[in-house]
Amino acid sequence: MTTGQQHTPSGLDPQEEERLPSIAEQMADQLGGWRGLVESSIPVVVFVIANMAGELRPALIAAIAVTLLIAAVRLIQRRPVRHAVNGLIGIAIGAGIALKTGNARDFYLPGIVQGIGLGLALLLSAAIRQPLVGWLWSVLVAKGRSEWRDDPKLVRTFTQLTVLWGVVWLAKVGVQAGLYLAHQDTALGVARLALGYPPYALLLLITVWVVRRVTREGATATPLPGA
């Protein structure tokens, strides 16, 4: 009698676990590589510089134009445009609000609100034992499988990681919200860049490393049948 395909607690079978991309490869995929990091930052840099040198409307137009140019270049080169499209949506919403209110700092308001919502959602999901980081792992790494839900150690690990993500997210958004309320437009733009991808990359690195370690420890402690 044959047995069904075995999976490690993370949702991957043993062979897939061995073929799991390196931490660097997984980070590059989620962040869009160095090119994705640079391209996502360019529109904000353009806005900050243009707004310091001139008026709000030209700065917003310049930021949107650069975002459209980046998306067009990616399309011409037949490269993925996911990061460019996401950036365009965020830039467009922020630009619309800033134009309506006439305040440059409102350009960053959608990102602040979104960050607060995400941070609270992360903490809430951890509180009800449905950690968002675990479900994101299922979607992005484990090909939709969720065997980690049957492993108390992994549930606890994903819950702790989700709390970490939530706390860091609220902390970095809190800094931006403070600068927003203090009408520090230029400092807010700098904070948006400095507190954007660096904390995200660090959290992603910690998450991948911790989950891989816990999964391998579990596989070693409980050998698969027939091993």
pLDDT digits (tens, 9 = 90+) for 56-96: 888 888 888 888 888 888 888 777 666 666 667 777 888 88
Range 111-139 average pLDDT: 92
Q: Using 50, 70 and 90 to split pLDDT, how confident is the model at 225?
A: very low
pLDDT at 163 > cutoff 90: yes
Averaging pLDDT over each range in 23-37, 159-173, 191-205, which range is the top one?
Answer: 159-173
Give the integer Cα–Cα distance in Å for 156 and 20: 22
The DSSP call for residue 103 is: -
Please report whether residue 7 resides in a domain: no
Please report whether residue 49 resides in a domain: yes
Q: How many domains does the chain have?
A: 1
Distance of alpha carbon 146 from its chain centroid, rounded?
Answer: 20
The pLDDT of residue 23: 47
Least confident interval from 26-35, 145-154, 173-182: 26-35
Please report whether residue 109 resides in a domain: yes
> Above pLDDT 90, what percent of the chain?
26
Range 95-106 average pLDDT: 88
Give the integer Cα–Cα distance in Å for 112 and 125: 20
Please report whether residue 34 resides in a domain: yes
Q: Using 50, 70 and 90 to split pLDDT, how confident is the model at 55?
A: confident
Please report whether residue 35 resides in a domain: yes
Helix axes 197-221, 152-181, angle to 10 degrees: 170
The pLDDT of residue 3: 46
Please report whether residue 227 resides in a domain: no
Please report whether residue 6 resides in a domain: no
Please report whether residue 202 resides in a domain: yes
Range of the domain at 199: 14-221
Helix (H) or strand (E) holding 68: helix 56-76
Range 173-196 average pLDDT: 90
